[in-house]
Chain A
Amino acid sequence: ETGVTQTPRHLVMGMTNKKSLKCEQHLGHNAMYWYKQSAKKPLELMFVYSLEERVENNSVPSRFSPECPNSSHLFLHLHTLQPEDSALYLCASSRQEGTGANVLTFGAGSRLTVL
C-alpha cells in the first residue's frame, strides 16, 4: 500500500473518446502531481497542485485537463487524445514544507493506450 491510489490501472481509448484518470492520496499531503512516463525518457511533469494553486507545464496540450477538488483527490481528464499520448501516467503527492526534502510518493500509474 503506497498511500497513493490510481484508477484505472489500464485504459484503452480511441482518439474521439473522453475519459478520466483518478488519483487519491491518504497521506495528508498538501501537493499533488501528474507525471507522464514514456519508455526511456525522463519523467515529464504535467501539472502540480500545491496549496490549492495549480502550476502548469505550458507544453502540455489542452487535450489534458486536470481537476483537484480537494487536497486528497486529483483527476486528469482526457479528450481527443493522439496515439503519441500513449504512456504511463503517474500521480504523486508530497508534503511541501519550505526547503525540506519534500519527498514524492507515487501511485502505481495508469497505463494509457490510444488507438
Chain B
Amino acid sequence: GQNIDQPTEMTATEGAIVQINCTYQTSGFNGLFWYQQHAGEAPTFLSYNVLDGLEEKGRFSSFLSRSKGYSYLLLKELQMKDSASYLCAVRDSNYQLIWGAGTKLIIKP
C-alpha cells in the first residue's frame, strides 16, 4: 500500500529552527507538496519539490531525496504565527495525491 509518515506533533521555541520530516512509500513519484493549515482555516500551499535538492523560499525551505523516499520542511527564525499543522503529500504515478496525517507544530515563547 501507499503510505506517508510524518510526526504527529512537534514543539519548538520562538526564534529557533525546526525540521519536519516526511517519508513516503508510493507507487511512483511525480512531486511532493507541503501545505500549512492554521486551526480552522484552509490549507495553503508552501512548496513543491520534484527534483532532488533544497528549495528555499524565505524562512521556509523544503528538501527532497527521491532515492530515500524522504523530504523535510525547514522553518527558520520561528514566529508564533508558525504554529499550525504541516501537511506532506506525494503525487503518485497515476497523478493521485497521497496525504500524510499532518504534523502539528507548537511554538512556545
CB pair B44–A40 under 8 Å, yes or no, is no
A2 proximity list for chain B (CB < 8 A): 42, 44
With A and B bound together, what is the CA distance between A45 and B35 in angstroms?
A: 16
Asked whether, in the complex, the Cβ of B4 is within 8 Å of the Cβ of A42, the reply is yes
- Interface SS, A side: loop
- From A13-21, A59-67, A72-80, A103-111, the one touching the partner chain is A103-111
Q: Closest residue of chain B to A107, judged by CB?
A: B42
Which of these binds chain A: B11-19, B57-65, B67-75, B93-101? B93-101
Q: Is B42 a contact partner of A42 (Cβ separation < 8 A)?
A: no
Instruction: Please tell me if A99 contacts chain B, counting CB pairs below 8 Å.
Output: yes
Q: Are B31 and A90 in contact (CB under 8 A)?
A: no
Q: Pick the contact of B42 from A4, A41, A43, A102 — CB < 8 Å? A: A4
Residue contact A105 to B101, C-beta cutoff 8 Å:
no
Given A108-B40, A108-B41; A40-B48 close (CB under 8 Å): no
Residues of B within 8 A of A (CB): 4, 8, 30-31, 33, 35, 40-45, 48, 50, 87, 89, 95-102
Closest 6 CB pairs of A and B: A42-B99, A106-B42, A43-B99, A108-B42, A106-B43, A101-B48
Choose from A42, A101, A106, A107 the contact partner of B100 (Cβ within 8 Å): A42
Within 8 A of B (CB), among A35-89: 40-43, 45
Q: Which residue of B lies closest to A35 (CB)?
A: B99
Return B91 CB to nearest CB of chain A, in Å: 8
- Chain A residues near B35 (CB, 8 Å)? 104, 106
* Known A43-B87, A99-B30, A101-B48; contact A109-B101, beta-carbon cutoff 8 A: no
